[in-house]
Amino acid sequence: MIKIAITGPESTGKSTLAEQLAEIYKTVWVPEYARSYVGNLGRSYILKDIEAIAHGQLALEKQVAQQADTLLFADTDMLVLKIWSEHAFGHCPDWIQQQLQTQGYNLYLLMGVDLPWEPDPQREHPHLRQYFYDWYKRELEVLQVPFAEIRGQQEERLQSACAHVDALLQKIKQT
């Protein structure tokens, strides 16, 4: 299974791109579990909620992966939860960090902050997008995982993402 994570700050088009890529490559994508969880919470989230979201995201990915043939796109990953937890609570549970080390994505697509901010009740930091982008990039570099920065407006982002996915598929085919 070839797994590609779409990661980055809020309001950068992760869900849109995941859905588009799944359609183009005729496969499935894993939505962000936190959307429904936080949407149904009825109160402010706490650290234990982030842990529940992480468990839910892992279970959802496992479930959706059963429907995939050879390629899977994930709208979010443990890196999102690590950064969210550290920013909100100054701490990330060890087991989330361990999952991050072993999640096994073949490629991360890091979404740039050059799209306009779209307000949403679940989004919290419109003025910290570059700060978070830089944080994501540093974390990906520390993890030493393959990643590509995706920038531009919608069509440009999609073309760039497809080029990186195609390059990955070609590389895997040659090995």
Write out pLDDT tens, residues 67-118.
998 999 999 999 999 999 999 999 999 999 999 999 999 999 999 999 888 8
CB 36 within 8 A of CB 43: no
Which CATH number do you get for residue 144? 3.40.50.300
- Going by C-alpha positions, the residue among 152, 150, 147, 153 that lies closest to residue 168 is 147
Q: What is the pTM of this model?
A: 0.94
Measure the CA–CA gap between 163 and 48, rounded to whole angstroms. Answer: 38
How high is the pLDDT of residue 27?
97
Structural domain boundaries, residue 159 = 2-174
In the chain, the number of structural domains is 1
Kindly state the average pLDDT of the residues 39-44: 90
CB 144 within 8 A of CB 100: no
Radius of gyration for the chain, computed over Cα atoms and rounded to the nearest angstrom:
15
Write out pLDDT tens, residues 14-37.
999 999 999 999 999 999 999 899
